Amino acid sequence: MRDHSDWPTQGDRRTARPNDGALVVSLDFELHWGVRDHHPPDGPYRENLLGARGAIPRMLDVFERYGVAATWATVGFLFARSRRERERFSPAVRPDYANPALSPYHEITGDTEADDPLHYAPSLIEAIARRPRQEIGCHTFSHYYCLEPGQTRDTFEADLRSAMAIARAHGFNLRSLIFPRNQANPAYADILRDCGIVCYRGNEHGWMYRVAAAKDERERRILNARRADRYLHLSGGNLTAWDDIPRDDGLCNVPASRFLNPYNPRLRRLEPLRLRRITHDLRTAAARRQIYHLWWHPHNLGTYTDENIAFLERVHKPSMLKRYCFQTNGGTIGGSLGIRRTRTPPSCRPGRLETARGRVRRVGRPLVDAGSRLFWQQRTSWSTRR
């Protein structure tokens, strides 16, 4: 059973809460199941969804090159090798959403990944799990909407148990959850705990990220505020202090800081702003020794993949943070988070930053102690900073 107990610890598995800045990366891996109420499988968005299958190995290359740990919260349907397997694991009780378009059980699909690459992904899940420091997490079984009218505790629990069961059948023990459409429902904490989930991704702090249900998501005022926030410092850094992660209900909430919005050719002049919005907050997280949590969907990078991967490289290259994974071990109240830390890449040197022009800038005192040194990438291209 793969529950990441085989990850390298290098003697640095912590028993006390970390005191470093940290970058957490999580991805909502869903293919068509996550957008099926907005996009038909053969519509224009198909290019993005199919493109995700090519973008994922390239993202994994970036993660491996820079030692980035990431959590891939995967829709349970995607584990199935066949329609028959998917139906075998489907729960007997299913949500009766007031908006019937949200129910995925009527979706017409092919039989296997070979003839329907939008609804099956066991080969991609395997490819992700083979890479170092990548965690397979949970995005519910059916892309379940926890705040939608018509769904109930019973149908959520049945859905989550199906997700855990199909993952277990493929050798994965899921510990981290991302709520679809970020509909985090604190009333379900006991169900999460009973099913073995120890941590989840909460929402950004800004008013425009408070989600009640899908209708709020479509409100123009909210959508416009979120779009602007990706370029301008509207909602702040949304950083999280380590002490704020453990909750009284026994779970760990690692809230999102920022959605990595994809490259938009119409807004390409704003690309420096988009990059600076993230790198500024990364630096702040390092200085304050807090957590910065970046997230996106693989299909966001399914078109303009070259531009998106290049952006991802720019985000990670100058990263000044220790890289942590979203996975926590235990998550008990008041206990240690026991977060596993990845090794410092050998190409990194502490306390110095070489700019794109070749100048070496000394940076201030190391932000973390010598035993777990801060690192700076040797070469960066921070042209947008100057």
Strand pairing category for 360-362 and 352-354: antiparallel
Between residues 107 and 354, which has the closer beta carbon with respect to Zn ion? 107
| Nearest approach, Cβ of residue 197 and Zn ion (Å) | 16
H/E stretch holding 56: helix 46-66
| Nearest approach, Cβ of residue 109 and Zn ion (Å) | 17
What three-state secondary structure class fits 354? strand
Q: What count of Cα atoms within 13 Å lies in the side-chain half-sphere of residue 33?
A: 28
Quick check: 179 and 146 in contact, CB under 8 A? yes
| Nearest approach, Cβ of residue 178 and Zn ion (Å) | 7
Between residues 3 and 37, which has the closer beta carbon with respect to Zn ion? 37
CB proximity list for 147: less than 8 A, separation 6 or greater? 183, 185, 211, 212, 213
Residue for token digits 């968005």? 45
From residue 184, alpha-carbon distances to 27, 117, 138, 213 in Å are 16, 28, 13, 10
Quick check: 275 and 314 in contact, CB under 8 A? yes
Between residues 142 and 344, which has the closer beta carbon with respect to Zn ion? 142
Interface positions with Zn ion (CB under 5 A): 28, 30, 34, 180
Amino acid identity for residue 83 in this structure: R
- Of all residues in the shown chain, the one whose CB is closest to Zn ion is 34
| Nearest approach, Cβ of residue 166 and Zn ion (Å) | 17
Between residues 20 and 30, which has the closer beta carbon with respect to Zn ion? 30
Between residues 34 and 331, which has the closer beta carbon with respect to Zn ion? 34
Give the integer Cα–Cα distance in Å for 323 and 328: 13
Quick check: 86 and 80 in contact, CB under 8 A? yes
Look at residues 14, 62, 24, 6 and name the one whose alpha carbon lies nearest to residue 372.
14
| Nearest approach, Cβ of residue 28 and Zn ion (Å) | 4
| Nearest approach, Cβ of residue 29 and Zn ion (Å) | 8
| Nearest approach, Cβ of residue 259 and Zn ion (Å) | 12
Look at residues 68, 69, 88, 62 and name the one whose alpha carbon lies nearest to residue 77.
88
| Nearest approach, Cβ of residue 116 and Zn ion (Å) | 19
Quick check: 326 and 26 in contact, CB under 8 A? yes
Between residues 256 and 374, which has the closer beta carbon with respect to Zn ion? 256
| Nearest approach, Cβ of residue 371 and Zn ion (Å) | 39
Residue 360: strand pairing partners: 354
Give the integer Cα–Cα distance in Å for 258 and 293: 7
Between residues 37 and 271, which has the closer beta carbon with respect to Zn ion? 37
How many Å is the maximal CA-CA distance in the chain? Answer: 63
Between residues 30 and 159, which has the closer beta carbon with respect to Zn ion? 30
Between residues 139 and 283, which has the closer beta carbon with respect to Zn ion? 139
Q: Kindly report the backbone phi and psi dihedral angles of residue 376, in degrees, each rounded to the nearest multiple of 5, phi listed first.
A: -125, 140
